[in-house]
């Protein structure tokens, strides 16, 4: 922008100078030659930016433009590749965790149904460095397991036993709480995890 301003300023100053010179010259045959020279000089002043551009090394200018374009294109390509890589890793990790959850569910589902009368409704595994997961997680990599159970459907109607209330006994933990603790211990033993790393919830429990 400053170069354009200087160029316009030089043209205006030259025109003013030419006007003054023309006014000072006497009326003679030399005046037309003077006007011709002034006109040629004005053309040179106007064409100065184009002459400077033509004098620039075009190969060097083109090389700079190409280098900048290639660098930007390379940087964009690297960013795109990195984003795609992270998406693939996340998708792969999610697939592995889902597969691990299915295997863990199948390992305990039959015994949960027979011993505790519940089935697995949902199972979620939380691992360390999930974005770097490449294979089924081992015990050391598992931070926690959250498992949601639901009551198994009963095929036969059980006989209702008489209910006896003994007010002399101290209040005991709710049956659901005791049951969840037993289930957590069973799951921890089966999966070789710490009971504190397993969160058990029974749908519809108190």
Structural domains present in the chain: 97-157+171-203 (3.30.70.1350)
H-type alpha helices, the chain: 2-24, 30-55, 58-116, 175-191
Per-residue pLDDT band for 82 (boundaries 50, 70, 90) equals: confident
- The fraction of the chain above a pLDDT of 90, given in percent, is 1
Q: Of 135, 146, 155, nearest to 193 (Cα)? A: 146
* Higher-pLDDT residue of 41, 146: 146
Kindly state the average pLDDT of the residues 79-108: 86
Return the residue matching tokens 């390379």. 74
Taking CB atoms within 8 Å and a gap of at least 24, the contacts of 129-133 are 130/93, 130/97, 131/86, 131/89, 131/90, 131/93, 132/89, 132/93, 133/92, 133/93, 133/96, 133/97
Q: How far apart are CA 114 and CA 135, in angstroms?
A: 31
Sign of the Cα pseudo-torsion (47, 52, 53, 55, in order): positive
Res. 78: pLDDT tops 70: yes
Summarised one tens digit per residue, pLDDT across range 174-203 is 445 678 888 888 998 988 888 888 989 888
Cβ contact 161:171 at 8 Å: no
- Listed in sequence order, the residues at least 6 apart from 24 whose beta carbon sits closer than 8 Å to its beta carbon are none
- Return the number of other C-beta atoms located less than 10 Å from residue 182's C-beta: 13
DSSP structure class, residue 135: S
Return the residue matching tokens 């029974």. 202
Summarised one tens digit per residue, pLDDT across range 125-142 is 888 877 677 777 777 778
Q: How far apart are CA 144 and CA 150, in angstroms?
A: 20
């Amino acid at each position: 922008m400053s170069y354009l301003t200087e160029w316009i300023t030089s043209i205006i100053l030259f025109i003013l100078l030419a006007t003054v010179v023309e006014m000072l010259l006497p009326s003679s045959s030399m005046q037309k030659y003077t006007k011709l020279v002034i006109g040629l000089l004005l053309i040179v002043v106007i064409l100065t930016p184009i002459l400077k551009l033509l004098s620039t090394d075009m190969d060097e200018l083109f090389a700079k433009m190409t280098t900048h374009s290639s660098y930007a294109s390379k940087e964009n390509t690297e960013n795109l590749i990195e984003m795609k890589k992270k998406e693939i890793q996340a998708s792969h990790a999610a697939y592995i965790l889902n597969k691990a959850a299915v295997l863990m569910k199948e390992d305990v589902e039959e015994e949960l149904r027979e011993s505790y009368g519940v089935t697995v409704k949902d199972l979620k595994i939380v691992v360390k460095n999930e974005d770097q997961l490449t294979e089924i997680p081992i015990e050391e990599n598992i931070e926690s397991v959250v498992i949601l159970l639901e009551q198994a459907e009963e095929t036969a109607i059980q006989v209702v036993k008489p209910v006896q209330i003994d007010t002399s006994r101290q209040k005991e933990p709710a049956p659901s709480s005791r049951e969840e603790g037993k289930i957590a211990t069973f799951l921890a033993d089966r999966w070789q995890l710490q009971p504190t790393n397993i969160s058990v919830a029974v749908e519809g429990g108190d």
